[in-house]
Amino acid sequence: MTARLLRYAVSGGASALTHFGIGLALAEGLHVRPVVASTTGFLASILVSYGLQHAWVFRSTTGHALAGSRFLTVTAAAFALNTTVLWAGTELLHAPYPIVQAVALAAIPALNYTLNSRWTFRPEPDRRPRERDAHPPRERRPLENNELPR
């Protein structure tokens, strides 16, 4: 568990740096509105995050169709949290983008780890038949009139 949390922290750091770096470059360097800049950084971080979490953090064997769709659902929840924090912080409170984005980036990992570890990359149950179910039951022949069951 501790090793997985450490791997999660490293992958989260890579994802956060992608998100923050692209967002900062767009918002401060190109003067793109903060929510649009952050959204672009967030979308780029999705690719980094999914790749690292599937292959390295959770070492998932869940197929990409299932894990990917679940991951995108969790990402949508994180996106909603990020956008709400960014909108409230920059548009309502007029706080500087870097500070507001840092607040959002602190809240998102807790949500993501919980949902991804318990749902997205959770190992699928073994669908192989159990030993006792592997063989069909013996066929019983009909009892004769005077025969007792065995």
Beta-strand ranges (E) seen in 1-150 are none
pLDDT at 18: 97
pLDDT in tens, the chain (150 residues): 799 999 999 998 999 899 999 999 999 999 999 999 999 998 999 999 999 999 999 999 999 999 999 999 998 998 899 999 999 999 999 999 999 999 998 888 888 999 999 999 998 776 665 565 555 556 666 667 666 666
Residues whose CB is less than 8 angstroms from the CB of residue 43 and which lie 6 or more positions away in sequence, other chains included: none
Longest dimension (CA), the chain: 96
pLDDT at 133: 53
**Residue 81 CB: number of other CB atoms within 10 A?**
15
Q: Dig out the tokens for 134 from the structure.
A: 């592997």
pLDDT at 149: 62
Phi/psi for 149 (5° steps) reads -65, 150
Residues whose CB is less than 8 angstroms from the CB of residue 117 and which lie 6 or more positions away in sequence, other chains included: 4, 58
Given CA atoms 125, 70, 14, 52 in this order, what sign does their dihedral have?
positive
Cα–Cα distance for residue pair 41/48, rounded to 1 Å: 11
